[in-house]
Amino acid sequence: MMTNIIVDGCLYSNSPNTLDFVKKVNKTFSGKLIGISSVYVRQLLDAGCIRGCRKSELEEIRKILFDES
């Protein structure tokens, strides 16, 4: 089973402070990095997430990750 990481855009902050984490992990991580944010999806994608969504759409992403219909 492949490991996936779902990353919020902001951690204990109101500004996107997880972008460096995404860039660093993306260099060696072989699973899927998914960015979730109501505001910073584009920045998470630019940092290296393969997919991004608003937090309200997370259930749809979960279905994709686990190949559920």
Residue 6: helix, strand or coil by DSSP? strand
DSSP 8-state code for residue 39: S
Which CA distances in Å does 50 have to 4, 13, 18, 42, 61? 11, 23, 15, 11, 11
Among the CATH numbers 3.40.50.2300, 1.50.10.10, 3.30.200.20, 3.90.700.10, which is that of 4-65?
A: 3.40.50.2300
Q: Is the pLDDT of residue 2 over 80?
A: no
pLDDT at 22: 98
> Closest Cα partner for 45 from 13, 54, 62?
54
**5-26 pLDDT, tens per residue?**
999 999 999 999 999 999 999 9
**37-54 pLDDT, tens per residue?**
989 999 999 999 998 999
Query: How do the domains of the chain map onto residue ranges?
Result: 4-65
Banded model confidence at residue 60, pLDDT cuts 50, 70, 90: confident
Q: Is the pLDDT of residue 68 over 80?
A: no
